[in-house]
Amino acid sequence: MPTPRRHFIRYLVAGPISAGCPLRAADDGTAAALPAGSRMAGDTFAIGHRKRDGGVFPRPSRWTSCALVIVGGGMSGLAAAYFAGNEDLVLLENEAAPGGHARSDALGGIPCSIGTAYVGRNDAAGKLAAELGLPPRAVAGWDGTVDRGVFTPDIWGGGIDALPYERRVRDQFAACRRDLLRLDPDDARHDDLALADLLAPYGPEVTRWWDAYCPSNWGARADGVAASLGIETVRWWARPDRVDTRATWPGGVGALAEKLAAVVRERHQEGIVTAATVLSVTQSGDGVEVTYFHDGAVVGVRARAAIVAVPKYMARHLLPDLPADQREAMGRITYNPYCVVNVLCARPVRRHAFDTWFPGRRFTDCIAADWVSSARGGDDAGRLLTCYVPLADGEREALLDDDRCRELASAVVADLCAAWPGEKPEPVEVHLYRRGHAIHASAPGLTRHQALARRPLGRIAFAHGDVGSLVASSSGAIRAARRAVDEIAVWR
């Protein structure tokens, strides 16, 4: 007898999953037979870890040359290659595909993001997309919150009065909104203060809500992120003249990365080299030497200049000649481990927003991946849920263990089913993506370390989102790319 779907869900949630992720149900709903293509997706880290641990690699057996080398093919590296124009360049990317955190997947034929979900229509990413002829579709849907089994739409807009708390707590939410709206978002002192300090007067429920919001967006809980971000967020969300300028594509911001990669490849046939792990970047005479591991061998490329567009926890291991203060500044940028769990359901769930927050759960929020691709612009979305699972530092090691990742995926699915208001989602396929170092923490005082960390070193400039803005974002990554291209213009 085929196991009924309900039974399968219990099995998937509670039982040990014996094969790799994505975890997929068989067509009849039984979970036992996982498809041959099952896999655990995530960063390719083996060579990077060897490098971090002081591993010694042989000298290159072969050298090539070009005008510009770009290290890292995430949004920032791709944007740098695009801004550099018709430069004779090579972009080296560790993974099998470029895009970094901005990549897409599909479950049940529905495209989804494995990380970056949306851009701002008027920010650097939205403008670059328009320039490339790829305008995103408007999200137009303020976030909701699920707590105590109740979905509350638009919490910081009109939702506070509908929160499932006694009046005293709702008043605390309202007081928090009122007080943050009164603060000056341009007052630089708020960059050096922790958001938790501003939230202290409003009670534990308010902090609990922000402790879901902050790690998902800003890489740390409310006690580890700058207060200015809370002020900006409430102003964006609760001002009378507010506008939701968020926009995206089916599959999320991976669409923009793919477009950039296509343009770069059109200009430079061999310009993007994937599965190429950069080992060192050094200045040498009147140029730069970059070595990398590719196809089982160490290869070298000489160029007039280089842009290093990898996160700084990696960059500091690649540049032996970094001045001590700059190496230290790079070390002060911290990143949270993070999983994204895409859950395909048998049918769309109801009662949710584009992005719905779940304070106190194993995942912080979930985005309806089919929001802009669904026929009725969000109303009928909710078949594919992208669950965001920022982790604590101490959980990073668990990501190296496939079994523990499967347990985490199961825990997220269980929590999703338990938390959803009024109905149980019926998951039929689950994909988990893990990242050891995902979002840089938008910590108080971070901007000072960023300024030092991105200081050009002769012919080597530094890009990446971790020095582009206080908050990890596609636009920050693009702005950092633009600046890096300008900084090395004189050498190219």
Ligand X SMILES: Cc1cc2nc3c(=O)[nH]c(=O)nc-3n(C[C@H](O)[C@H](O)[C@H](O)COP(=O)(O)OP(=O)(O)OC[C@H]3O[C@@H](n4cnc5c(N)ncnc54)[C@H](O)[C@@H]3O)c2cc1C
Task: Give contact residues for ligand X (rule: CB under 6 A).
Answer: 48, 71-77, 92-95, 100-102, 115-119, 277-278, 309-311, 314, 338, 340, 388, 435, 438-439, 464-465, 472-474, 476-477
Cβ(298)–Cβ(116) under 8 Å? no
In a 13 Å sphere around the CA of 305, the CA atoms on its Cβ side amount to 22
| Cα diameter, the chain | 73
Burial category of 298 from C-beta neighbours within 10 Å (exposed 0-12, middle 13-18, buried 19 and up): middle
CB of 126 to ligand X, least distance (A): 10
CB of 204 to ligand X, least distance (A): 26
Is the Cβ of residue 125 or residue 163 nearer to ligand X in the bound state? 125
The whole-angstrom separation of Cα 90 and Cα 267 is: 11
Find tokens 């124009």 and name the residue. Answer: 85
Label residues 79-89 b or e (16+ Cβ within 10 Å = b): bbbbbbeebeb
CB of 81 to ligand X, least distance (A): 11
CB of 356 to ligand X, least distance (A): 14
Is the Cβ of residue 160 or residue 472 nearer to ligand X in the bound state? 472
Find tokens 């992005």 and name the residue. Answer: 355
The whole-angstrom separation of Cα 170 and Cα 175 is: 9
The whole-angstrom separation of Cα 452 and Cα 225 is: 19
Is the Cβ of residue 228 or residue 386 nearer to ligand X in the bound state? 386
Is the Cβ of residue 19 or residue 310 nearer to ligand X in the bound state? 310
Which pair of tokens denotes residue 248?
């995206």
The whole-angstrom separation of Cα 174 and Cα 458 is: 52
CB of 252 to ligand X, least distance (A): 7
Closest C-alpha to 216, from 473, 488, 487: 473
Is the Cβ of residue 3 or residue 245 nearer to ligand X in the bound state? 245
Is the Cβ of residue 65 or residue 274 nearer to ligand X in the bound state? 274
The whole-angstrom separation of Cα 168 and Cα 392 is: 31
Burial category of 286 from C-beta neighbours within 10 Å (exposed 0-12, middle 13-18, buried 19 and up): exposed
The whole-angstrom separation of Cα 194 and Cα 308 is: 30
CB of 368 to ligand X, least distance (A): 13
Is the Cβ of residue 126 or residue 382 nearer to ligand X in the bound state? 126
Closest C-alpha to 427, from 380, 386, 477: 386
Is the Cβ of residue 23 or residue 124 nearer to ligand X in the bound state? 124
CB of 161 to ligand X, least distance (A): 28
Is the Cβ of residue 25 or residue 367 nearer to ligand X in the bound state? 367
CB of 482 to ligand X, least distance (A): 12
CB of 107 to ligand X, least distance (A): 17
